[in-house]
Structure 1
């Protein structure tokens, strides 16, 4: 082999080794597998690719989840930390709260997603800054817009019910904001506490005769069992709306005023990109959703199932799902 050939081979080997060394590993950790939460991860990875972080060359990914079991979260986080990732994408509030405490290597940045209020949850100090290790994309709802939407779909609406887990910080924030929006809109908000998904049918049943519609907030205990809630809603002839869009349920629900989980993942990727390029989490303010992050839908079949017509003003609306 000639000297020239040897030098070329050495250069290629060095280039390959350098490329391999520069490949960054990102650990994605979620509370569980759910279509909406999976959209966060998918949106994140697609946006990262668009930003130049090609999967398999610039970055690699792992995915771990706790199967919606809080007792498994420490195990998930121990696995994630053992991977020594360049960055962690942590999905849902409870998992992020545990990650802030449980990931002991404080050189690993944590980008949160699917978190309503990271300030109340203690993940970041305020809305202008991240913490030393964490920042991300929030899913702060716009309940003023939600109730305005419900007024158009159900003219004359006076009371809206919802189900919430009093033990979840996300749920507490949602209830506070929804109640405040209800006061401004002249709509009474009736919240029914639910600690376990097994209680959902009975608690949903309890709203019969009390409200004109039910709107489901971004609650883990509720969102994992929406089909069950929908069955009860149809039985009691109650229009049911959700804060998470799921096309598989569009015939069972009356409609959706939903934040895009995919876009939430994309916004988290924008923040991850900045961190991987050297920015400090503390210098990056958490992302707050804007109008374009929400989608409105009304289901013709879902409304018919509970005996309600589509208002004339909406019969040509792009919101309609037929």
Structure 2
């Protein structure tokens, strides 16, 4: 055999061996309760961080994204589809979807990492704040309401009563309202919390704040966040400054401001936990991630304040919080 042929054969052999040794890409199923800018940011942040950690899509990892369109009746189908893929890990977004996954995923060898969950202990996802469960841990969006309401007071110094809408049937909202009330007492504010469990009722419930509150700081509530433009319209009509716990680029000048957990960072922190699990660490040994100060964005909209007859206080005129 000629030298050129020998070299060619050797190259083919080496290439074949390398191909044979190439690891099979990890399969990660991403299951979300629905498509919403904030929830999409969680998924995007997760994937971007996984890339930074060395999981290149199409090479070291493949993703299968699915969502239930905020329809609880579709959640079991979504989870069955996820489990049928026999993934190495499921990344589940929102509390309702994670609660259903804990009950619905039969193969307990598939670890579940959660994102966009306020209180995983109350939700029954983990036993306590120091540990994951046998198959689940993740990153929370636990709000620092004392900091958020103090921010509202800085922007609207005359505020005495603050309102929010919440869903009494969702564990996230129950936890948020409890924390909201405790924080309000600490910063000297009265809370007007209005329950809503049907999106069609949101305009009427938001209207009930008229004459009863000086500002609205809206909690992270799935049912309400999908209708924030509606809440913003009602708040403007009644000259009530509206602050949100979820940032929206599209609505940045329709609201008075935001004190919000970064949903992108939530996905990034969930990816860090997923990486630890994929490398062999047991979920039970991984404490749920709790947001730090650096995970929050404080933002003020001069246009949003002007629309309800207010302006940025002189003490904040040069603040880095001002939206352009």
Relative to the length of structure 1, the TM-score reads 0.97
RMSD: 1.2
2:305–2:312 Cα contact (<8 Å) kept: yes
Alignment partner of 2:137: what SS?
strand
Structure-2 separation of matches of 1:196 and 1:16: 54
Structure-2 separation of matches of 1:63 and 1:22: 19
Corresponding residue number in structure 2 for 1:284: 286
Corresponding residue number in structure 1 for 2:40: 38
Structure-2 separation of matches of 1:182 and 1:70: 32
2:123–2:171 Cα contact (<8 Å) kept: yes
Structure-1 separation of matches of 2:235 and 2:153: 19
CA offsets per residue over residues 283-318 of structure 1, 9 Å max, x none?
100001100000001101100001111111011111
Structure-2 separation of matches of 1:302 and 1:234: 9
CA offsets per residue over residues 12-53 of structure 1, 9 Å max, x none?
22322332x431011100000111100001111111111111
Corresponding residue number in structure 2 for 1:68: 70
Corresponding residue number in structure 2 for 1:154: 156
Q: 1:208 aligns with which of 207, 210, 213?
A: 210
2:208 corresponds to 1:220: no
Corresponding residue number in structure 2 for 1:179: 181
Shift of residue 135 of structure 1?
A: 0.1
Structure-1 separation of matches of 2:148 and 2:162: 11
Structure-1 separation of matches of 2:14 and 2:64: 31
Shift of residue 3 of structure 1?
A: 6.6
2:149–2:217 Cα contact (<8 Å) kept: no
Q: 2:191 aligns with which of 164, 189, 192?
A: 189
Alignment partner of 1:161: what SS?
strand
2:232 corresponds to 1:230: yes
Structure-1 separation of matches of 2:185 and 2:32: 35
Deviates more, 1:85-94 or 1:9-18: 9-18
Shift of residue 321 of structure 1?
A: 1.3
2:109 corresponds to 1:107: yes
Structure-1 separation of matches of 2:11 and 2:84: 37
Q: 1:126 aligns with which of 125, 128, 136?
A: 128
Corresponding residue number in structure 2 for 1:307: 309
Structure-2 separation of matches of 1:13 and 1:61: 26
CA offsets per residue over residues 185-241 of structure 1, 9 Å max, x none?
110111000001111000000011111001111100000010011111111111001
Shift of residue 251 of structure 1?
A: 1.3
Shift of residue 156 of structure 1?
A: 2.5
CA offsets per residue over residues 97-146 of structure 1, 9 Å max, x none?
00111111111000000000000000000001000110000111000100
Corresponding residue number in structure 1 for 2:12: 9
Alignment partner of 1:171: what SS?
helix
Structure-2 separation of matches of 1:14 and 1:278: 26
Q: 2:318 aligns with which of 300, 316, 319?
A: 316
Alignment partner of 1:16: what SS?
helix
How many corresponding residue pairs?
321
CA offsets per residue over residues 148-181 of structure 1, 9 Å max, x none?
1011001021110000000000000000000000
Structure-1 separation of matches of 2:9 and 2:125: 53
Unaligned runs of 5+ in 1: none
Alignment partner of 1:28: what SS?
strand
Unaligned runs of 5+ in 2: none
Alignment partner of 2:58: what SS?
coil
Shift of residue 66 of structure 1?
A: 0.1
Q: 1:78 aligns with which of 74, 77, 80?
A: 80
Alignment partner of 1:320: what SS?
coil
